[in-house]
Structure 1
Amino acid sequence: MAGESDQEKTEQPTGKKLAKARQEGQVAVSKEVPSVLILLFSLCVFFFAGSWMFDRLINFMKGLLQNIGVVSIGVMSLRLLLFSVFKEIIIILAPLMGAVVLAGVIGHVAQFGFLFTGKPLTPKFSKMDPVKGMKKLFSLKSYVELVKMLIKTGVVGGVAFIMLRGEADKFPLLIRMEVWEILIFIGQVSFKICFYTCIALIILAALDFAFQKWQHVKGLKMTKQEVKDEAKQSEGDPKIKSRIRSAQMEMARRRMMEAVHEADVIITNPTRLAIALQFDAKKMTAPKVTAKGSGFVAERIRAIAMEHSIPIVEEKPLAQTLYKTVEIDDLIPVSLYQAVAEVLAYVYRLKGISKK
């Protein structure tokens, strides 16, 4: 039973897995967010620049129709005419097209930030599996998309019905209005429908984004074993780490052994421990431990000391205290000044050097 529970994806995805999924283009994204922003930006364009767009279109059509009788039929003349028509259409639609592009970019960047990757475009034969395709048709995501489509249809239809019913008493008056007034009335009603539809779709987009976020995290959930394996990969293989530590210890031991010959005295207890002390009154405020070790390392320290004629002094209590309390390259504590000073004085007398 424990083995089965370990295979259940109950753990939240780690930062590493989320980052990897992002690199592959797998992010939580709602199609409703850019859609509602496009609608909102388009409404703003029509509200602020609609009259300019309409006036420019009317003037262009008026000028085109007024000169239609004097236009000569020819390859060059038709080419110039089509070019002018195309250019005018681009100018008129430029604010709307710019708003649509900007809304689409903001709608995606606001959800997952800037992301450029071509991996989602890479063809995968697994996506062509008909069995998986059938499963997707009856998946939770498909049901949610169906519900969203029905809600959107209901919202748009409901808002349109409510708006039109509120304006129903004005319909009989349209037969007395000029064409210009009828167009203004249609534009106003259409704008109201789009505005209130946009408000409803903003709420739907927020709910859809929350659902997409939840579904994205759920799809990336990991088993307990996957979390353990990732932790091992992040921390490194224990065997490799052990070898690295061994190599580091060996390098440190070599550096320590190289520092033994600079010591003034070796204190032992007498065979198990060996501590190398160095003192330079001009550079140091207290004696320093340059090397220490036990067992085989202690033997090596004593051997190097004998090779370099460094005095070896047997002081069992002092050796034990230094070994336990002072690290390599550290100065001895004040409590050991007296004991070490006596040892150094003895060494200096052996060397015939006056103690400073």
Structure 2
Amino acid sequence: MADESDNEKTEDPTQRKLDEALKRGDVVKSQEVNTWFIIAAGALALTTFSGSFANGLYTTFRGLIANSYAIRTDGRALVSLGEKIGIETIAAVAIPFLLLLLAAIAGNMVQHRLVWTTETITPKLSKISPIAGLGRMFSKQALANFIKGLLKLTVVGVVLTALLWPERDRLEGLISADPAAISGLTMSLSAKMLGAVVAILAVVAIADYLFQYRQWHEKQKMSLQEIKDEYKQSEGDPAIKGRIRALRHSRMRQRIMAAVPKATVVITNPTHFAVALQYEPGMDAPVCVAKGVDRIALKIREVAGEHNVPIVENVPLARALHASVEIDQAITPEHYKAVAEVIGYVMRLRRGLARQ
């Protein structure tokens, strides 16, 4: 039972899992959001730039038709004509096209960060497998998309019908109306319909994004075992870390055994800190050869006692040296005076013992 609960994906994904999904291109993506941005941009372009767009093309093609009898179509002249028409057409549609392009990019950026990956386009057998294809066609996701499409068409159709139904008499009269009047009414009705479609699709896009996010988040969930494995990979296996700590302690003890006998003095407080210093004539300053707290401090004192290294109790100095000096480094200048007094005391003690 414990193994089954460990393998159930009930835990929220870690940041590392989310980052890996982003690198693979596995992100939240609602096609409805992209569709809304493109349709909204198209509606904006149509209502804002349709006049300049139409006038630009009207001027170009009116001049072309009016002067058709004088246009040369032989050799280079025909190529130049095609280039001119193409440039003027592109210039007329450039702003609407750029707006649609920016909308397509924005539709992705509002859902997730930009992703640069080749994994989604890497050939895979599952993508071309007929069996896998049939599975996708008749999957729950495909059924949900089909139902969503029907509902969207139904709602849009009902709303557009409600908008156009009061205008049915005017629409019938357009058969015999002046072209200028037809253009004005068409633009007015088009703006109303586009506004309604954009509003409906905004609601659909928000609902679909929330649904897609929930589906994606559920897919990213992890089991307890996966979280444990990820912790081991990122932080290291606790057993291995324990062995590393034991090895470090072993090396520290060996270093103490080798360094403390060479020390000139060991400065301690009664139980917690011990710092072994070495000083020889000609040295700029005493050097710390070993230091430690608690058990390591006790070991330093034991080794010092075994090799007749003087042990001097000085609580504030021992604490200060342990905090400020690393092993194999000289003591800092602010401790020169206090350490010099201790080493001087040790040397006088040795000279007294030598006379005896």
Query: Shorter-normalised TM-score: what interval?
Result: 0.7 to 0.9
The reply to whether residue 157 of structure 1 matches residue 150 of structure 2 is no
Contact 1:289 1:327 (8 Å CA) reproduced:
no
Contact 2:266 2:304 (8 Å CA) reproduced:
no
Q: Which residue of 1 aligns with 2:135?
A: 135
Structure 2 spans left out of the alignment, 5+ residues: 280-287, 325-340
Contact 1:38 1:103 (8 Å CA) reproduced:
yes
- RMSD value over aligned CA atoms? 3.7
Q: Cα gap change, 1:295/1:70 in structure 2, threshold over 3 Å: closer, same or farther?
A: closer
Q: Which residue of 2 aligns with 1:248?
A: 248
SS at 1:167's partner residue?
helix
Between the aligned partners of 2:74 and 2:44, the Cα distance in structure 1 is 42
How do 1:286-325 residues align onto structure 2 when only pairs under 5 Å count?
A: 291=291, 293=296, 300-303=303-306, 305=307, 311-312=309-310
TM-superposed deviation, 1:159? 2.6
Between the aligned partners of 2:126 and 2:320, the Cα distance in structure 1 is 60
Structure 1 spans left out of the alignment, 5+ residues: 281-287, 332-340
SS at 1:112's partner residue?
coil
TM-superposed deviation, 1:115? 1.5
Q: Name which of structure 1's ranges 194-203 and 239-248 shifts more when overlaid on structure 2.
A: 239-248
TM-superposed deviation, 1:277? 5.9
The reply to whether residue 88 of structure 1 matches residue 81 of structure 2 is no
TM-superposed deviation, 1:88? 1.8
TM-score (norm 1): 0.77
Q: Name which of structure 1's ranges 135-144 and 243-252 shifts more when overlaid on structure 2.
A: 243-252
TM-superposed deviation, 1:66? 0.3
SS at 1:10's partner residue?
strand
Q: Which residue of 2 aligns with 1:236?
A: 236
1:222-248 CA-to-partner distances (Å, cap 9, x unmatched) read: 222112111121211234323432343
TM-score (norm 2): 0.77
Contact 1:259 1:291 (8 Å CA) reproduced:
no
Between the aligned partners of 2:261 and 2:178, the Cα distance in structure 1 is 108
The reply to whether residue 108 of structure 1 matches residue 101 of structure 2 is no
Q: Which residue of 2 aligns with 1:43?
A: 43
Percent sequence identity over aligned pairs: 28
TM-superposed deviation, 1:180? 2.3
Contact 1:263 1:290 (8 Å CA) reproduced:
no
Between the aligned partners of 2:297 and 2:277, the Cα distance in structure 1 is 19
Between the aligned partners of 2:309 and 2:193, the Cα distance in structure 1 is 100
- Give the count of matched residue pairs: 322
Q: Which residue of 1 aligns with 2:331?
A: none
Q: Name which of structure 1's ranges 162-171 and 194-203 shifts more when overlaid on structure 2.
A: 162-171
1:190-238 CA-to-partner distances (Å, cap 9, x unmatched) read: 2211111001101100111111111111112222211211112121123
Q: Name which of structure 1's ranges 207-216 and 257-266 shifts more when overlaid on structure 2.
A: 257-266
Contact 1:9 1:221 (8 Å CA) reproduced:
yes
Q: Which residue of 1 aligns with 2:337?
A: none
